[in-house]
């Protein structure tokens, strides 16, 4: 079976392709289909957005599609930015704009109250196929940005049990513990049981 990954993000493509190696399925990404339209992520939950992305791209392409949606939920901000993580600092904002906003919003919040979690929901949608898996990574928001690796909010997020941020970890280590890594692992198990 062919599986279309609903992303252009190189890190995600590497991570998911790696998890599905040996499954007998051929993994493609949006880079292989430049003409497919962008799906508007206007749902108010991660579940809704990942299902919408997977279903619409399957309907356009006819290929079983795997789509993920991730949000960073910060307790001191009542779960914000959550499903709005990508454009939190405004339309067209950069990862740095979002991190700067996070540090501003969390300024003065004591260390015991800086808890946060990344949550990732993955949906696989195809002909007679609808599967979901999720993963979570708990940690805290740092007082300043640290590290150059990764993307998104990685420089301001320190996983529990670590004294480095996600942006200071190698991709392999991040994938092993991350929200998406865990969700992908669960989904890979499900996919392995689907006949190629």
Catalytic residue list contains 69:
yes
Q: Which is nearer to ligand IMP, 146 or 194 (CB)?
A: 146
Site for ligand IMP in 10-29 (CB under 6 A): none
Scanning 17-25, 122-130, 145-153, 187-195 for contacts with ligand IMP by CB under 6 A, the matching segment is 145-153
When binding is defined by CB under 6 A, the residue of 63, 153, 175, 182 that contacts ligand IMP is 153
CA torsion sign, 16 to 71 to 129 to 66? negative
Q: How many CB atoms lie within 10 A of CB 70?
A: 24
Site string for ligand IMP, 54-73 (x = CB under 6 A): --------------xxx---
Residue 68 β-bridge partners: 122
Residue 159 β-bridge partners: 139
The structure tokens 């993920």 sit at: 68
When binding is defined by CB under 6 A, the residue of 56, 131, 154, 168 that contacts ligand IMP is 154
Interface residue list for ligand IMP (CB under 6 A): 68-70, 85-86, 95, 98, 150-154, 166, 178, 180
Active-site amino acid positions:
69
């Amino acid at each position: 079976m062919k599986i279309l990954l609903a992303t252009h993000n190189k890190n995600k493509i590497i991570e998911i392709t790696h998890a599905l190696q040996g499954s007998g399925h051929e993994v493609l990404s949006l880079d292989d289909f430049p003409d497919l339209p962008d799906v508007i992520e206007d749902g108010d939950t991660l579940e809704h957005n990942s299902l919408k992305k997977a279903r619409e791209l399957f309907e356009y392409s006819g290929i079983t599609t795997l789509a993920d949606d991730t949000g960073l939920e910060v307790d001191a901000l009542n779960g914000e930015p959550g499903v709005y993580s990508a454009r939190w600092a405004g339309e067209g904002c950069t990862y740095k704009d979002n991190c700067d906003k996070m540090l501003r919003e969390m300024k003065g919040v004591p260390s015991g109250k800086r808890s946060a979690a990344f949550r990732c929901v993955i949906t696989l949608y195809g002909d007679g196929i609808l599967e979901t898996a999720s993963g979570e990574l708990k940690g805290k928001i740092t007082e300043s940005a640290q590290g150059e690796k990764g993307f998104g909010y990685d420089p301001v997020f320190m996983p529990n049990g670590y004294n480095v941020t996600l942006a200071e970890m190698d991709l392999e280590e991040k994938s092993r513990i991350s929200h998406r890594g865990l969700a992908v692992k669960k989904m890979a198990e499900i996919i392995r049981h689907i006949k190629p």
